Amino acid sequence: MAQLIDGKAIAAQVRAEVKADVERLKAERGLVPGLAVVRVGEDPASKVYVTGKKKAAGEVGFNSWEHHRDASITQDELLALVRQLNEDPAVHGILVQLPLPKHIDAELVISTVKPEKDVDGFHPISAGNLSLGRPGLRPCTPFGVMRLLKEAGCNPAGKRAVVVGRSNIVGKPMALMLLQADATVTICHRKSDLPREVGMADILVVAVGVAELVKGEWIKPGAVVIDVGMNRKADGKLVGDVEFQAASERASAITPVPGGVGPMTIAMLMRNTFIAATGGV
Ligand code: NAD
């Protein structure tokens, strides 16, 4: 049976580390990191995420502000808000909660955030830095996966890593981070022969958004399996992109859903905000 990678406990540990770092920063430099979260409209999931982010920010000792705007806000008004936050010295991290209403160009909004304050790691400069192997702010979810691997005692160097999913916020940056950590990386998508590719993975990261797409029997015995997916089934149960039970019988370590990758994302947002406040990456 696979070792369970406890994302909830590891995320709590990351938040405790950030809290201790913030206390030191306050004592030594009188500096309090500040996180501004922009939320547009009434998307219920966005509201839950933003509440979680503000709560975590308060717990680690940051200043945090929520700028909630009506869905009718114009693109120019939203860009003006982002520019105002860019210039505010108390704000070290800016997060624009996605999705944005259809009349707003989300890519334009993201690229208007100053790269130094881009704590989501979605700005083209951040993506470019990652791609070039330079220091920079990293997207929180794959950043969290790297920490989970570390805590599970899994060093990617020399291992065969397979990432299923190639989104700009999870799959692609995940593959680049594993590459940076000296893994041999394969990226899979809809056209890939998933059973074959998955079967070669020493480290498997799945970020697709299809309930139990990856079958337990495909998994290489001894693999480390990280399931990023979060899917609500008809009966209300939350499941990942991997068949958890069957995969647990073959993997050496696996993340549960919920309680695996999910809690790490907010914890790494706290780490990123601290990094943005101190200018160190
Ligand atoms: P996305 O929809 O942007 O991307 C999904 C990717 O999966 C695409 O690149 C697509 O090519 C690929 N894909 C789709 N169907 C496929 C198939 N049948 N076979 C192979 N590849 C296929 O999604 P995303 O934003 O990357 O999120 C993926 C999942 O991760 C979702 O369930 C989402 O809820 C979850 N997620 C969780 C967290 C977290 O904090 N735990 C953060 C972000 C996303």
The pLDDT of residue 175 is above 80: yes
Give the pLDDT mean for 242-266.
98
Contact between 188 and 210 under an 8 Å Cβ cutoff? The reply is: no
The answer to whether the CB of 190 is under 6 A from ligand 1 is yes
The ranges of the chain annotated as CATH 3.40.50.720 are 140-262
Which of 3.10.20.30, 3.40.50.10860, 1.10.10.10, 3.30.230.10 is the CATH number of 32-114?
3.40.50.10860
189's CB contacts (< 8 A; 6+ apart) are 164, 165, 166
pLDDT in tens, 100-144: 999 999 999 999 999 999 999 999 999 999 999 999 999 999 999
ipTM value, please give it: 0.97
Give the pLDDT mean for 173-195.
98
pLDDT in tens, 58-100: 999 999 999 999 999 999 999 999 999 999 999 999 999 999 9
The answer to whether the CB of 266 is under 6 A from ligand 1 is no
Confidence of residue 160 (pLDDT cuts 50, 70, 90): very high
Ligand 1 atom showing the smallest separation from residue 265 Cα: 40
Binding-site sequence positions for NADP(+):
165-167
> Residue 13 CB: number of other CB atoms within 10 A?
14
pLDDT in tens, 100-110: 999 999 999 99
The pLDDT of residue 281 is above 80: no
Structure tokens at 13: 């540990």
Give the pLDDT mean for 143-171.
98
- Vertex 15 angle, CA 263 and 222, to 5°: 50
Distance 230 CA to ligand 1 centre (A): 9
Contact between 268 and 57 under an 8 Å Cβ cutoff? The reply is: no
51's CB contacts (< 8 A; 6+ apart) are none
Q: Specify the pLDDT at position 145.
A: 99
Q: Assess whether 53 carries a catalytic annotation.
A: yes
pLDDT in tens, 216-247: 999 999 999 999 999 999 999 999 999 999 99
The pLDDT of residue 38 is above 80: yes
Ligand 1 atom showing the smallest separation from residue 241 Cα: 32
Confidence of residue 279 (pLDDT cuts 50, 70, 90): confident
Q: Specify the pLDDT at position 213.
A: 98
CATH superfamily of 140-262: NAD(P)-binding Rossmann-like Domain (3.40.50.720)
Q: Specify the pLDDT at position 237.
A: 93
Question: Which residue, judged by its Cα, is nearest atom 19 of ligand 1?
Answer: 190
Q: Are strands 231-232 and 238-239 parallel, antiparallel or unpaired?
A: antiparallel
CA atoms within 13 A on the CB side of 190: 3
Distance 183 CA to ligand 1 centre (A): 21
Distance 167 CA to ligand 1 centre (A): 7
pLDDT in tens, 192-215: 999 999 999 999 999 999 999 999
Q: Which of 6, 21, 118, 120 is catalytic?
A: 120
The pLDDT of residue 177 is above 60: yes
Q: Specify the pLDDT at position 141.
A: 98
The ranges of the chain annotated as CATH 3.40.50.10860 are 32-114
Q: Specify the pLDDT at position 245.
A: 98
